[in-house]
């Protein structure tokens, strides 16, 4: 009798466990346009037959799917056999489904098979990404995982993107990232249906691409002195310090990256930032500058070179601009753009145009002569002259130019696309003037910004929490959507020293931007989104991708009473969390006081420690906030 009871108990527990595994929560990011949950599930067989349309563009998608299914499951995958017996079918529509467009797909999971249909190979690739997200999280493992029920819930999904440009910008100039690290970034972004990788290839800190005929760009321009700490305030390098920190991509590296991205339906947009942000080029070839002292310039290592106290444009402490009055510059740009056009098949070339200081131009005789010759009345229009010249070079190579929104100030032809970073208003203005626009505003999409309080993050100019990124709507009301190409998040890397930190800064905010540029705006729902994000945290854990848990961190608000006592309000981005705290320098857990209402700091307290819990489990990081910092924020001096 005892054996029977134990057997039945184990049986019911097993059935319950299998039932939970067989009916997992569907947590797809970005959220599909249409999804209907069916009954039951599909058991992934140990011998999986994949059948596909005979299109050569599908080859890499099939290789990708085979690898992802094989590594964690250990199952046998075959692509040759009777279509009727196929477990997974990837089929191109013989008659186009107009709803799907070129990147949409229809995914059907029944108890007997999985079928993905699309008009174009890109759609099948994105359907495969969704399929993998329907499988248990262990599918992200790079090694064999045992004791997992490999089941897929029955579902019907029809899905297609809201916008054609779904981008991530990766700054490889401030800190160099290897070819393999860029590939790692591409793999991660493709899983969430991004299709443009914007590579910021040049800046004051490094020139990262080989240009034939200008060897010093990489011999000199790709190397600086290694510094760590708070970028922008580093001690200027001494003359004898080795300049051996950095690197660059050969043209063969670039071709390899372009093909690697293409196999995952990602286009690479190259950016060479001019006329400002050009110190690495000028240190390599001083004759590209208007300033004779440029012969002494070195590639920046993170020391202060700009005075931002008066805002933008900054006051340059040294001249980091190419000289618009120097014909050598346009010859140089013709060579650079010619080689970019040959290396990158994407239709656009990005030529920067942001934050170019004018104070060195104001006192330069060559610039004054140029203004007199060209009838330029305002020094700010000098950059407009430069922009129009390089725009003509880009168009002569059969490409289209893209630039940051500052180029609107000096005038630019309607054929140049504008990337709006200083909020949304310049993108709106550009669209109203019939420019193609990519929205990438600091307000929502700057991934270098802190994700939590500055006491726990690398300190930069501002904070951007996950919930704020999720508010991003790239197509503003009242703007003709035909002029909004899409949206993009930007990862500048002044404070990002390695690929693990790049991942940490990208995810989970990259999920929010991915959903903002793919999914219908009316489907946006923060609690629903975050519940899916938490499921994907588990996937990132298994894939060993780093991400930020900052969304669990409390938000501090310092204030003061009428009699100048410090008050502290705490809140959370996520509902359902409890905050526990201490003022006595010890480390709080859930048996400490729970935050319920505004706190008043004890008179001699030096620090406030806080941690968040969900029920009995800690979810947030232990944060220590100094009372001195809170008093400063409350303006209690």
The string of DSSP letters for 248-305 reads: -B-HHHHHHHHHHHHTTT-EEEEEEEESSS-HHHHHH-GGGSS-GGGGG-----S---
Residue 461 has pLDDT above 90, yes or no: no
CA-CA distance, 471 to 197, in Å (whole number)? 22
Instruction: Kindly state the average pLDDT of the residues 609-615.
Output: 98
Residue 272 has pLDDT above 90, yes or no: yes
- E strands of 451-491, at which residues? 484-491
Assign 54 a pLDDT band (cuts: 50, 70, 90). confident
Residue 625 has pLDDT above 90, yes or no: yes
Three-state SS at 78: strand
Three-state SS at 397: coil
CA-CA distance, 592 to 578, in Å (whole number)? 11
Q: Which residues of 553-584 are buried (b: 16+ CB within 10 A; e: fewer)?
A: bbebebeeeeeeebbbebebbbeebbbbbbbe
Over pLDDT 90: what percentage of the chain?
90
Residue 157 near residue 131 (C-beta atoms within 8 A):
no
Instruction: Dump the DSSP string for 401-458.
Output: EEEETTHHHH---TTSEEEE-SSSHHHHHHHHTT--EEE--HHHHBTTSBSS-TTSS-
Residue 374 has pLDDT above 70, yes or no: yes
Instruction: Kindly state the average pLDDT of the residues 308-319.
Output: 86
Pick from 326, 344, 324: which is nearest to 394 by CA? 344
Pick from 86, 94, 135, 133: which is nearest to 117 by CA? 94
Q: Which residues have C-beta within 8 Å of that of residue 363, sequence separation ≥ 6?
A: none
Q: Tell me the torsion sign for CA atoms 518, 519, 522, 526.
A: negative
Element at 89 (helix H, strand E): strand 88-92
Task: Report the pLDDT value the prediction gives residue 380, as an integer from 0 to 100.
Answer: 86
Task: Report the pLDDT value the prediction gives residue 80, as an integer from 0 to 100.
Answer: 87
Residue 141 near residue 127 (C-beta atoms within 8 A):
no
Question: Across the chain, what does the average pLDDT equal?
Answer: 94
DSSP lists the bridge partners of residue 43 as 151
Three-state SS at 335: helix
The total number of residues written for the chain in this structure = 637
Phi, psi of 334 (to 5 degrees): -60, -40
Assign 85 a pLDDT band (cuts: 50, 70, 90). confident
Pick from 437, 523, 424: which is nearest to 482 by CA? 437
Q: Tell me the torsion sign for CA atoms 281, 282, 288, 290.
A: positive
Instruction: Kindly state the average pLDDT of the residues 30-59.
Output: 94
The CB-side HSE value for 201 (13 A sphere, CA atoms) comes to 27
Instruction: Kindly state the average pLDDT of the residues 365-394.
Output: 95
CA-CA distance, 568 to 561, in Å (whole number)? 10
Over pLDDT 70: what percentage of the chain?
96
Task: Report the pLDDT value the prediction gives residue 2, as an integer from 0 to 100.
Answer: 46
Residue 458 has pLDDT above 90, yes or no: no
Question: Per the structure block, which two tokens stand in for 447?
Answer: 């991934």
On whether the 553-633 domain is CATH 3.30.450, my answer is: no
> Mean pLDDT lowest for which of 1-10, 168-177, 563-572?
1-10
Place of tokens 């050598």: 328
CATH number of 165-550: 3.50.50.60, 3.40.190.10, 3.40.50.1980, 3.20.20.80?
A: 3.20.20.80
Question: Per the structure block, which two tokens stand in for 363?
Answer: 């006192």
> Mean pLDDT lowest for which of 19-33, 156-170, 189-203, 495-509?
19-33
Residue 20 has pLDDT above 90, yes or no: no
- Integer Rg of the chain from CA: 27
CA-CA distance, 32 to 129, in Å (whole number)? 12
Residue 406 has pLDDT above 50, yes or no: yes
More confident residue, 9 or 66: 66
More confident residue, 312 or 53: 53
Residue 81 near residue 51 (C-beta atoms within 8 A):
yes
Phi, psi of 588 (to 5 degrees): -70, 150
Chain mean position to CA 54: 34
Q: Where are the domains of the chain?
A: 22-159, 165-550, 553-633
CA-CA distance, 516 to 519, in Å (whole number)? 6
Phi, psi of 522 (to 5 degrees): -70, -15
Task: Report the pLDDT value the prediction gives residue 78, as an integer from 0 to 100.
Answer: 93
Task: Report the pLDDT value the prediction gives residue 556, as an integer from 0 to 100.
Answer: 97
Element at 334 (helix H, strand E): helix 327-343
Task: Report the pLDDT value the prediction gives residue 311, as an integer from 0 to 100.
Answer: 76
Assign 23 a pLDDT band (cuts: 50, 70, 90). very low
Residue 15 has pLDDT above 50, yes or no: no
Residue 575 has pLDDT above 60, yes or no: yes
Pick from 347, 344, 324: which is nearest to 336 by CA? 344
Count other Cβ atoms within 10 Å, centred on residue 272: 26
Residue 229 near residue 304 (C-beta atoms within 8 A):
no
Residue 439 near residue 420 (C-beta atoms within 8 A):
yes
CA-CA distance, 300 to 262, in Å (whole number)? 33
CA-CA distance, 120 to 588, in Å (whole number)? 55
Three-state SS at 501: helix
CA-CA distance, 198 to 149, in Å (whole number)? 39
Cis check for the bond before 313: say yes or no (omega within 30 of 0).
Answer: yes
Task: Report the pLDDT value the prediction gives residue 108, as an integer from 0 to 100.
Answer: 98
State how beta strands 151-159 and 196-200 pair. Answer: unpaired
Assign 81 a pLDDT band (cuts: 50, 70, 90). confident
Residue 97 near residue 135 (C-beta atoms within 8 A):
no
Instruction: Kindly state the average pLDDT of the residues 591-606.
Output: 96
What CATH number has the domain spanning 22-159?
3.30.379.10
Measured at the alpha carbon of residue 511, what is the angle toward residues 457 and 471, in degrees to the nearest 5?
A: 85
Three-state SS at 232: coil
């Amino acid at each position: 009798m005892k054996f029977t009871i134990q057997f039945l108990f184990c049986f019911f527990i097993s059935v319950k466990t299998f039932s939970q595994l067989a009916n997992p929560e569907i947590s797809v990011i970005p959220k599909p346009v249409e999804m209907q949950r069916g009954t039951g599930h599909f058991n992934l067989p140990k011998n999986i037959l994949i059948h596909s349309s005979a299109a050569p563009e599908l080859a890499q998608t099939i290789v990708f799917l085979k690898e992802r299914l094989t590594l964690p499951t250990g199952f046998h995958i075959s692509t040759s056999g009777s279509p009727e017996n196929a477990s997974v079918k990837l089929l191109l529509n013989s008659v186009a489904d107009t709803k799907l467009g070129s990147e949409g797909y229809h995914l059907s999971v029944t108890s007997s098979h999985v079928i993905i249909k699309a008009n174009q190979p890109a759609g099948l690739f994105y359907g495969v990404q969704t399929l993998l997200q329907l499988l248990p999280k262990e599918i992200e493992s790079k090694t064999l995982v045992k004791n997992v029920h490999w089941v897929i819930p029955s579902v019907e999904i029809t899905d297609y993107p809201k916008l054609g440009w779904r981008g991530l910008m990766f700054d490889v100039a401030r800190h160099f990232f290897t070819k393999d690290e860029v590939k790692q970034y591409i793999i991660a972004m493709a899983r969430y249906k991004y299709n443009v990788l914007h590579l910021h290839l040049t800046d004051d800190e490094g020139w990262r691409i080989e240009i034939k005929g200008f060897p010093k760009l990489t011999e000199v321009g790709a190397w600086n002195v290694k510094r760590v700490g708070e970028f922008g305030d580093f001690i200027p390098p001494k003359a004898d310090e080795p300049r051996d920190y950095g690197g660059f991509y050969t043209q063969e590296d670039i071709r390899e990256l372009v093909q690697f991205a293409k196999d995952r339906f990602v286009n690479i947009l190259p950016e060479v930032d001019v006329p400002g942000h050009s110190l690495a080029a000028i240190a390599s070839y001083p004759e590209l500058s208007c300033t004779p002292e440029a012969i002494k310039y070195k590639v920046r290592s993170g020391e202060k070179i700009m005075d931002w106290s008066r805002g933008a444009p900054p006051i340059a402490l040294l001249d980091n601009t190419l000289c618009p009055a120097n014909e050598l510059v346009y010859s140089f740009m013709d060579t650079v753009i010619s080689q970019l056009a040959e290396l990158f098949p994407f239709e656009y070339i990005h030529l920067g145009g942001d934050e170019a200081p004018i104070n060195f131009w104001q006192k330069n005789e060559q610039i004054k002569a140029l203004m007199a010759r060209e009838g330029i009345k305002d020094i700010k229009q000098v950059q407009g002259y430069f922009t129009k010249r390089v725009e003509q070079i880009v168009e002569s190579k059969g490409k289209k130019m893209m630039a940051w929104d500052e180029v609107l100030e000096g005038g630019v032809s309607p054929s140049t696309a504008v990337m709006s970073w200083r909020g949304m208003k310049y993108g709106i203005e550009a669209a109203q003037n019939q420019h193609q626009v990519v929205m990438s505003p600091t307000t929502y999409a700057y991934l270098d910004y802190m994700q939590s309080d500055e006491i726990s993050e690398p300190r930069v100019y501002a904070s951007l929490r996950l919930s704020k990124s999720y508010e991003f709507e790239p197509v503003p009301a009242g703007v003709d959507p035909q002029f909004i190409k899409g949206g993009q998040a930007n990862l500048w890397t002044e404070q990002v020293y390695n690929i693990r930190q790049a991942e940490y800064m990208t995810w989970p905010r990259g999920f929010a931007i991915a959903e903002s540029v793919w999914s219908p705006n009316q489907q946006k729902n923060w609690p629903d989104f975050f519940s899916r994000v938490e499921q994907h945290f588990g996937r990132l854990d298994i894939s060993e991708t780093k991400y930020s848990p900052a969304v669990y961190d409390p938000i501090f608000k310092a204030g003061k009473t009428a009699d100048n006592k410090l008050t502290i309000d705490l809140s959370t981005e996520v509902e359902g969390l409890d905050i526990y705290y201490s003022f006595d320098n010890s480390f709080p857990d859930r048996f400490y006081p729970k935050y319920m209402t505004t706190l008043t700091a004890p008179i001699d307290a030096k620090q406030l420690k806080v941690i968040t819990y969900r029920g009995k489990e800690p979810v947030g990081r232990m944060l220590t906030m100094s009372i001195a910092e809170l008093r400063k924020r409350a303006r209690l001096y």
